[in-house]
């Protein structure tokens, strides 16, 4: 169905935003992670080549996709109504909630959103974690002045460790990874029932093949192997 062989139709340029372990991160200078391996497996099943990965700030992924600099986003990106107005999402491939990180063993141990009041809270720009903070500001739980945006989550966790913020809101699996590797811990979680999907342009029919590839990878057991490798 795609164009003749040798056309670009069979190559996808993937884009991601590293600093989101275990989904995408750098190890010894190499990009790796659950999303990276999953998309590689899905593309192979679907009969596509993956070009070199573009590593971008999370916020610039959607504009890069719509402008055609990349063809597919694999970045632990939550399927939201707002984003669905701009791009198409594959079938969901992972479920997540948000959690609130604080300094490990610190005196600030919030148990609920109300306890965050008066404290400085950070999140990565353009994420659903940031959306949760914005919701708390709208609801009056937090003051906008206390919100700090970061280009990526590792920078937010640096700020948390050094005391520049008191809490960071991040996706649960990523927060768990930081809790295991840095001087931070999860204080409580916020149930958001998010689903991650791959993002493609709305007029790109290749998403059908990606969905078929995803089902095949889920049925073959490859998906479960990747889950145990990265979350096991
Ligand atoms: N799941 C969240 C969202 O969609 C955070 C994703 C951040 N991903 C990343 N690769 N930094 O907004």
User: Could you give the ipTM of this predicted complex?
Assistant: 0.98
pLDDT of res. 9: 77
Q: How far is CA 212 from the centre of its chain?
A: 22
Task: Assign 7 a pLDDT band (cuts: 50, 70, 90).
Answer: low
Q: Rounded to the nearest whole angstrom, what is the distance from the C-alpha of residue 36 to the centroid of ligand 1? A: 14
| Distance from C-alpha of 168 to C-alpha of 160, rounded to nearest angstrom | 7
Work out the end-to-end distance of the chain between its first and last CA atoms, rounded to an integer number of angstroms.
Answer: 39
Superfamily of domain 97-193: Periplasmic binding protein-like II (3.40.190.10)
Mean pLDDT of 44-59: 97
At residue 200, does pLDDT exceed 60? yes
| Distance from C-alpha of 46 to C-alpha of 40, rounded to nearest angstrom | 10
Q: Rounded to the nearest whole angstrom, what is the distance from the C-alpha of residue 2 to the centroid of ligand 1? A: 31
Mean pLDDT of 93-118: 97
Q: Rounded to the nearest whole angstrom, what is the distance from the C-alpha of residue 115 to the centroid of ligand 1? A: 25
Could you tell me if 96 and 193 are in contact, meaning their C-beta atoms sit under 8 angstroms apart?
A: no
> Which atom of ligand 1 lies nearest, measured to the CA of 23?
10
pLDDT of res. 145: 96
Q: Rounded to the nearest whole angstrom, what is the distance from the C-alpha of residue 3 to the centroid of ligand 1? A: 33
Mean pLDDT of the chain: 96
pLDDT of res. 6: 43
Q: Rounded to the nearest whole angstrom, what is the distance from the C-alpha of residue 180 to the centroid of ligand 1? A: 19
At residue 77, does pLDDT exceed 50? yes
Q: E strands, the chain, where?
A: 11-12, 14-16, 25-27, 30-32, 49-50, 54-55, 72-73, 88-89, 94-103, 121-124, 147-150, 167-171, 184-196, 199-200
In the chain, CATH 3.40.190.10 covers 8-93+197-231, 97-193
Superfamily of domain 8-93+197-231: Periplasmic binding protein-like II (3.40.190.10)
Mutate to test the pocket of ligand 1, among 70, 75, 175 (most ligand atoms within 8 A of CB): 75
Percent above pLDDT 70 for the chain: 97
Is residue 17 within 6 Å of ligand 1 at its C-beta? Answer: yes
Which is nearest to 203 in space by CA: 87, 92, 90?
87
Q: How many CA atoms lie within 13 A of 100 on its CB side?
A: 23
Is residue 35 within 6 Å of ligand 1 at its C-beta? Answer: no
pLDDT of res. 4: 41
Residue 189 three-state SS: strand
At residue 13, does pLDDT exceed 90? yes
Task: Assign 1 a pLDDT band (cuts: 50, 70, 90).
Answer: very low
């Amino acid at each position: 169905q795609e164009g003749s062989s040798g056309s670009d139709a069979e190559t996808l340029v993937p884009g991601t935003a590293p600093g989101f372990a275990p989904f995408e991160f750098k190890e010894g200078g190499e990009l790796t992670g659950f999303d990276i391996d999953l998309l590689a497996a899905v593309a192979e099943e679907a009969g596509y080549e993956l070009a070199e990965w573009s590593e971008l700030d999370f916020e610039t992924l959607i504009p890069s996709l719509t402008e055609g600099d990349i063809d597919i986003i694999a970045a632990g990106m939550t399927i939201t109504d707002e984003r669905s107005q701009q791009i198409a999402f594959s079938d969901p491939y992972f479920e997540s909630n948000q959690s609130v990180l604080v300094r490990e063993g610190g005196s600030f141990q919030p148990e609920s959103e109300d306890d965050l009041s008066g404290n400085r809270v950070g999140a990565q720009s353009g994420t659903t974690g940031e959306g949760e903070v914005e919701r708390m500001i709208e609801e009056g739980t937090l003051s906008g002045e206390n919100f700090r945006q970061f280009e990526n989550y590792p920078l937010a966790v640096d700020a948390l460790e050094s005391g520049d913020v008191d809490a960071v809101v991040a996706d649960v699996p990523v927060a768990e990874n930081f809790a295991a590797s840095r001087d931070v811990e999860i204080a409580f979680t916020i149930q958001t029932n998010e689903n991650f999907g791959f993002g493609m342009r709305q007029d790109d029919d290749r998403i059908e093949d990606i969905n078929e590839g995803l089902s095949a990878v889920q049925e073959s057991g490859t998906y479960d192997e990747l889950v145990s490798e990265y979350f096991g």
